[in-house]
Amino acid sequence: MGAPGEVRRHLLVSLGKVGLLLGLAAILVLAVLPRLRAPYGATPLVEPRTVVWLVMELHLMFAAFVLGVPIFAMIVEIVGAATGDERYDRLAFEFTRLLALAFTATAVLGVLGLAALVLLYPRFMTYLGGIFRPTFLPYAALIVLDALLLVIYYTAWDAMRGRLKWLHIGVGALLNLAGTALMCIANAWATFMMSPAGVTEQGALVSLSQAIQNPLWWPINVHRIIANVAFGGAIAAAYAAIRFLSARSDEERAHYDWMGYVGNFVAMWALIPLPFAGYWLGKEIYAFSAQMGTSLMGGAFSWLFIIQA
């Protein structure tokens, strides 16, 4: 990895995939949505909300992995650069290698989730699009930037050794910033549905900044960043366990045993502050609407909280 031709090829392929998916998303929002007249769509056998939940839950899981892994991969790379220990650099590269397929799956599921929302809840999506339309272009630009940075970070790993190592770490930092910004924009859309702000009682937009910075926006941002790291660490540890079982040499087994240990270590340490972030989120939910909090924790969804606990 790292030859100019190899990097260029990966960049072109990634741009092609991202461009295709963004084009499909634009068609859904700009061409399909305005033509839908019914307030709701219908699906056979299952309720529309179940379809949306299933697709978006899968999207969220892949997105958590894609956003969480670069955080601790960069930290491991920094440790390797500071200590000069090649084992850490190899481990960070191994973590990063897991992202390629997950990034594509995240993007595909995101477009499928958008299609489900547009086709099944057209009136609601028309309203939500009217509120957050100014955020769509920055979101699309961040997707392209995130894809480019991921390709450069992965394919230029060997080429940017030695004196260029800290520049490579800088690319990783930019990758994490772009991914976090993407997550924060999407969180604004999601939390506005739960705790709308910046609109009149009739739903007319008064302030876009208030709509974005609604009461649940910062709590969910913090909660998801921590949860992404925990989830990414656990998945990386599971991957290492599978590779350990299929390893053919003692050296390979030792490497993947260590990789699993680091993944579990990251997951466990991220799980420690996660309940406190969850408590803050729950507190803000009750502060905004005690009825919503009671429905979530003591009503129809209480069984989910019991399983989670």
Per-residue tens of pLDDT for the chain, all 309 residues = 555 566 567 767 777 888 899 899 999 998 999 999 889 998 888 999 999 999 999 999 999 999 999 999 999 999 999 999 899 999 999 999 888 778 989 999 999 999 999 999 999 999 999 999 999 999 999 999 999 999 999 999 998 988 899 999 999 999 999 999 999 999 999 999 999 999 999 999 999 999 999 999 999 999 999 999 999 999 999 999 999 999 999 999 999 999 999 999 999 999 999 999 999 999 999 999 999 998 888 887 888 888 877
3-state secondary structure of 302: helix
Please write the tens of the pLDDT for every residue from 227-260.
999 999 999 999 999 999 999 999 999 999 999 9
3-state secondary structure of 201: coil
- Percent of the chain with pLDDT strictly greater than 90: 77
Query: Which pLDDT score is estimated for 11?
Result: 67
- Provide the residue ranges of all domains of the chain, joining segments of one domain with +: 4-206
Q: Identify whether the C-beta of residue 172 lies closer than 8 Å to the C-beta of residue 146.
A: no
The CA dihedral of 241, 245, 248, 249, to the nearest 10 degrees, is 50
3-state secondary structure of 99: helix
Angstrom distance (rounded) from CA 56 to CA 50: 10
Please write the tens of the pLDDT for every residue from 22-31.
899 999 998 9
Question: Any bridge partners for residue 199, and if so which?
Answer: 205
Residue 196 DSSP symbol: -
Question: Any bridge partners for residue 205, and if so which?
Answer: 199
Query: Which pLDDT score is estimated for 5?
Result: 61
Tokens of residue 77, six digits: 């790379």
Residue 38 DSSP symbol: S
